[in-house]
Amino acid sequence: MTGGAWATYEKRLHRVSAYIYGHLDEELDLDRLSEIACLSPHHWHRIYRAVHGETLAATVKRLRLQRAAAELVQTGLSVEAIARRSGYPNVQSFNRTFKAAYDLPPARYRKEGSHKAFETASMEGNAVMYDVDLRTIEPLFLAGVAHSGSYMGIGEAFETLYATLFERNLFRPDMEMIGIYLDDAELVKTDKLRSFACVTVNGQQAAEAPLTRKGSTAGTMPCCGTGGPMPTCRGPINGLWDLAAEFRP
């Protein structure tokens, strides 16, 4: 496929991805999303799966489950309400699907999920649970996609980043995924928070929109490594800023 053809598909992929994130409460079947892409359902299904490695239905299911995990952690909504909002006909079906993805049923995830480890560590004054510490970092060359708003929503920027890398045949298995969080969420309004979803690249690699070249100089900075979905990462991100505050002049 020519570069010009991929450029056309890239715009459609980004348009559909943004629509999915903004309309998770609505019906998001193949026919509707094909209309957004302005392609036939059969053709769009093939293009989307080739780039993302999963079907549109799988993407919608995954994003709704991620949002459900965030709501379990961050809100007091009942499991029943979250199940309905996620498009499940009953709690039993939601419980089975959620447990398959997160290893715990929703009610137990709210009480015992990985986010609890950081909350316990924070109350005890111990950040080691999530390996939040100061590290000496060598200079890095990065390509990233900007995100504004809640840090818990940076997943959309990572989706755009990886889709763009695959579309342009730029992805390499040795790329490291890095999130850069520029503002202290305790001091800056949520809708003003700035972050970047990044991967490591070589120094010569060009970056065209929506990609932006970023870089870091060598130095000591607060870092953490954590697994799991973004909804469980609020604690580690706050921990980074708590540690950074100790070293502010």
Q: Which of 20-24, 77-81, 84-88, 177-181 has the lowest mean pLDDT?
A: 177-181
Within a domain: 120? no
State the pTM of this model: 0.66
Q: Which of 12-16, 132-136, 181-185, 200-204 has the lowest mean pLDDT?
A: 132-136
User: pLDDT tens-digit profile of 179-237?
Assistant: 888 888 888 998 999 999 999 988 777 778 888 888 766 677 666 665 555 444 554 44
Looking at the structure of the chain, the number of domains it has is: 2
Pick from 81, 111, 141: which residue ends a domain?
111
Do 165 and 90 belong together in one domain? no
Pick from 86, 111, 136: which residue ends a domain?
111
Within a domain: 171? yes
User: 182-191 — which CB contacts under 8 Å span 24+ positions?
Assistant: 184/241, 184/244, 184/245, 185/151, 185/237, 185/238, 185/241, 186/238, 186/241, 190/149, 190/150, 191/148, 191/149
Do 104 and 170 belong together in one domain? no
Do 132 and 62 belong together in one domain? no
Within a domain: 59? yes
Within a domain: 117? no
Question: Does 121 have pLDDT greater than 70?
Answer: no
Do 100 and 137 belong together in one domain? no
Within a domain: 60? yes
Domain that holds residue 15: 3-111
CATH number of the domain where residue 13 is located: 1.10.10.60
Within a domain: 116? no
